């Protein structure tokens, strides 16, 4: 296969959409994150299809897939792997953990202890794992799709700020409307459509698309706009800690992938504005008095986008 980025995105969204009813926008966010070499945090109540979405995306990409169920008694080595002593050779050999895959589903990540959650930090940022002083590279492409239940639910631990910051996008699936839920019942009545999902792309084609995304033109004024939006989250009176420079990079990369998914080789200001809440909101820590007033991170980001002047649309010059 040798297709343009927008064709690959459409094939993946259509394929995963055959399983996940009425959530094409959320599926596209996951695909865009994959093209940016980013990771996705899927947060919602149990039973809305978070795990099913991750499985369907893995099948549609044709990539290797592993699932790890995060529990309070899980150890970091259960995720990354361990060195095992072989008495016959009197040496240690490394046994890879489930993180050594291309698509990793970290199911209910906030049910694990912070120590085990942190075991994913190096893998997510540097795409490698170091065990007993030896570094092991992860396969490409590599994406973590982590599901979590709302923090107010029993048996959950809050994710460390450093962990949350490594997720490019946070996605909420939400409940379906009546028609959508009836369509889901029809689709799953006799068998799971997940079993019918076939790969519609390859790891190599995804790698080519990831490279193409990095070549999408971004005007200097749009880069400055990204930085201004992020810096305003740090200066806002209701924010204790704003988005990090990693948030600025994420905003840039998501805008490039959005443009490529739309069939363009240049970024528009709307590419930034459309996905800024998805990239920035989970990185913000509000002040207690703001939370008491019912202010949400989404409200703050929308306020900044409404008041920050966007640059004029600029087409790439030949």
CATH fold for domain 5-206:
Rossmann fold (3.40.50)
Q: Check whether 154 has a pLDDT greater than 60.
A: no
| No. of helices (H) and no. of strands (E), the chain | 14, 11
Does pTM top 0.85 for this prediction? Answer: yes
Report the pLDDT value the prediction gives residue 313, as an integer from 0 to 100: 65
275-305 pLDDT, tens digit each: 999 999 999 999 899 888 888 999 999 999 9
* Tokens matching residue 31: 């695909």
Q: What is the average pLDDT score of the chain? A: 88
- For helices 24-35 and 203-214, give the axis angle rounded to 10 degrees: 80
- What is the rounded average pLDDT of the residues 234-245? 90
Under the banding of pLDDT at 50, 70 and 90, the label for residue 27 is very high
- What is the rounded average pLDDT of the residues 170-197? 87
- What is the rounded average pLDDT of the residues 78-95? 85
**β-pairing verdict for 169-171 and 40-43:** parallel
Phi, psi dihedrals of residue 118, rounded to the nearest 5°:
-70, -15
Report the pLDDT value the prediction gives residue 82, as an integer from 0 to 100: 87
Report the pLDDT value the prediction gives residue 318, as an integer from 0 to 100: 46
End-to-end Cα spacing for the chain: 28
Q: Check whether 33 has a pLDDT greater than 90.
A: yes
Report the pLDDT value the prediction gives residue 205, as an integer from 0 to 100: 93
Query: DSSP assignment of 88-119, as one string?
Result: TTTEEEEEE-TTSSSEEEEETGGGS-HHHHGG
Q: Check whether 86 has a pLDDT greater than 90.
A: no
Under the banding of pLDDT at 50, 70 and 90, the label for residue 151 is low
- What is the rounded average pLDDT of the residues 55-83? 90
Q: Check whether 144 has a pLDDT greater than 90.
A: yes
Report the pLDDT value the prediction gives residue 60, as an integer from 0 to 100: 93
For the chain, the structural domain boundaries read: 5-206, 217-307
Under the banding of pLDDT at 50, 70 and 90, the label for residue 315 is low
| DSSP 3-state of 146 | strand
Q: Check whether 43 has a pLDDT greater than 50.
A: yes
CATH fold for domain 217-307:
Helicase, Ruva Protein; domain 3 (1.10.8)
What does the DSSP 8-state code read for residue 182?
Answer: H
Report the pLDDT value the prediction gives residue 272, as an integer from 0 to 100: 94
| 92-96 long-range contacts, CB within 8 A, separation 24+ | 92/132, 94/131, 94/134, 94/136, 96/136
Report the pLDDT value the prediction gives residue 264, as an integer from 0 to 100: 92
């Amino acid at each position: 296969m040798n297709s343009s980025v927008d064709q690959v995105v459409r094939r993946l969204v259509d394929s995963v959409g055959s399983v996940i009813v009425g959530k094409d926008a959320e599926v596209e966010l996951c695909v865009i994150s994959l093209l940016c070499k980013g990771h996705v945090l899927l947060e919602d109540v149990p039973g809305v299809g978070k795990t099913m979405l991750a499985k369907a995306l893995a099948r549609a990409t044709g990539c290797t897939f592993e699932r790890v169920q995060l529990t309070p008694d899980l150890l970091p080595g259960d995720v990354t792997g361990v060195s095992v002593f072989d008495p016959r050779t009197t040496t240690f050999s490394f046994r890879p953990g489930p993180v050594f895959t291309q698509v990793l589903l970290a199911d209910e990540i906030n049910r694990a202890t912070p120590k085990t959650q942190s075991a994913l930090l190096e893998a997510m940022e540097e795409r490698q794992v170091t065990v007993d002083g030896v570094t092991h590279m992860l396969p490409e492409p590599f994406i973590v799709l982590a599901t979590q239940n709302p923090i107010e639910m029993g048996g959950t631990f809050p994710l460390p700020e450093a962990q949350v910051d490594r997720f490019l996008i946070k996605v909420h699936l939400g409940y379906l409307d009546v028609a959508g839920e009836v369509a889901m019942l029809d689709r799953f009545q006799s068998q799971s459509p997940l079993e019918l999902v076939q790969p519609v792309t390859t790891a190599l084609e995804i790698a080519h698309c990831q490279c193409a995304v990095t070549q999408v033109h971004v005007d200097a004024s749009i880069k400055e706009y990204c930085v201004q939006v992020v810096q305003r989250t740090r200066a806002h009176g209701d924010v204790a800690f704003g988005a990090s420079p990693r948030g600025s990079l994420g905003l840039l990369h998501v805008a490039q992938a959005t443009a490529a998914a739309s069939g363009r080789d240049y970024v528009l200001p709307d590419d930034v504005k459309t996905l800024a809440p998805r990239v920035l909101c989970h990185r913000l820590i509000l002040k207690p008095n703001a939370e008491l007033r019912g202010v949400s991170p989404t409200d703050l980001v929308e306020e900044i986008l409404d008041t920050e002047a966007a640059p004029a649309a600029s087409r790439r010059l030949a």
